[in-house]
A and B are shown apart, each in its own frame.
Chain A
Amino acid sequence: MKTTALNLIALVGLSGVALAGPLTFDFKDPKGVNNATFTLDAPLEAISGSANGVSGTVTFDPANPAATKGKIVVAASSLHVPNPVMKDHLHGAQWMDVAKHPEIVFEAKEMKNVRTDGDVTTADVVGTFTAKGVSKEITVPVRFTYLKDRLAARGGNQQGDLLVLRSNFTIKRTDFGINPGAPQDKVANEIVIGLSIAGAAPRP
């Protein structure tokens, strides 16, 4: 009787450990909400647009957010600006060359200055940013919001968790060979990037 009780306690304990492990969140959002925005300053009007072709996975452990790893991919062909001529230029060889370089990637390697308050974790994420075939290590501030058991609330019958990532950071287009010849008094060298994405970790 005593052995059975001990085994039961051990089983419950083990299942608890298994449940508390890292979760893998898929950022290919069927609702099409995920987006990355970009802005380059220019004399008449800032060049602003967005991309919604977001995918990738992030492994996040609510009990140990510092161990977060993952990769977010943005399809370069989904970059959109409201002016059709600008969009053609943006997709063209001088700017993003989307035919040759179809993906913009950020791969997280390390988390620094991790702070957790309830469901929200902020951290400086060190990782490799790749655009137009050029990879550079950068550090970006990221805010993670862990929404436990909120997947079903977005519709569908699937139970699970959500992870919302928000980040704003700046890169220099000349660092990535993005039209390095364009005069900087006509279009800024700094590209301000915003990321607002949600990933889902369904439970089987």
Chain B
Amino acid sequence: MRRFVRILAVLVAVSAVAFWAATGANRGWTKTSVPVKTLDEITGIEAITYEDRFLPGVDFLGAAGVAAGLLVGVSFLFRKQTQQQQTVRT
């Protein structure tokens, strides 16, 4: 169980970093919408509209890091398997 929770912690951390990198490695804050600019050819004004899109930022990475750390902490609540326990099971 202890090992399982630690593996889960690593998975959380790695998948968060992978998701962050895959969505553009945004070094700013997390965004739930991104600006889209379109040019009005008559006036020359760039209209700004927002498209709903989740763009994780450094706060997302931080939250994932905290979650992974908590899981590692929780793993210490489970007793380490002794040599004897492992022998009995086998």
Q: Is A32 an interface residue (CB 8 A)?
A: yes
Contact A82 B47 (CB under 8 A): no
Contact status B35-A198, CB under 8 Å: no
CB distance from B30 to the nearest CB of A (A): 6
Which one of A44-52, A103-111, A174-182 contacts B?
A44-52
| Residues of chain A with a CB closer than 8 A to B46's CB | 35, 196
Let me know if B29 and A31 touch, CB within 8 A. no
Known: A50-B35, A82-B34. Contact between A164 and B29, CB under 8 A? no
Known: A154-B42, A162-B43. A82 touches B32 (CB 8 A): yes
B50 interfacial by beta-carbon distance below 8 Å? yes
Bound state CA distance, A83 and B35, in angstroms? 11
Contact A33 B40, beta carbon cutoff 8 Å: yes
Contacts of B33 in A (CB 8 A): 80, 82
Known: A45-B28, A50-B35, A84-B32. A37 touches B48 (CB 8 A): yes
Docked CA distance A154–B46 (Å): 14
Docked-complex contact B42 and A82, CB < 8 angstroms: no
Q: Is B45 a contact partner of A197 (Cβ separation < 8 A)? A: yes
Interface flag for A101 (CB, 8 Å): no
**Main SS class of interface, A:** mixed
Task: Give chain A residues whose Cβ lies under 8 Å from the Cβ of B57.
Answer: 45
B44 CB–A CB distance under 8 Å = yes
Inter-chain contacts of A32 with B (CB < 8 A): 47, 49
Complex Cα gap A31–B40 (Å): 9
Q: Which B residues are in CB contact (< 8 Å) with A93?
A: none
Q: Which of B27, B29, B35, B58 contacts A86 (CB 8 A)?
A: B29
Q: CB within 8 Å of B: which of A10-59?
A: 31-35, 37, 44-45, 50, 52
Seen from chain A, the residues whose Cβ lies within 8 Å of a Cβ on chain B are 31-35, 37, 44-45, 50, 52, 80, 82-84, 86, 145, 147, 150, 153-154, 162, 164, 196-198
A-B contact pairs, 30 of them (CB 8 A): A32-B47, A33-B40, A33-B43, A33-B45, A33-B47, A34-B45, A35-B45, A35-B46, A35-B47, A37-B48, A44-B27, A44-B58, A45-B27, A45-B28, A45-B29, A45-B57, A50-B48, A52-B47, A80-B33, A82-B34, A82-B35, A82-B55, A83-B31, A83-B32, A145-B44, A147-B42, A164-B44, A196-B46, A198-B40, A198-B43
- B residues near A (Cβ < 8 Å) are 27-35, 40, 42-50, 55, 57-58
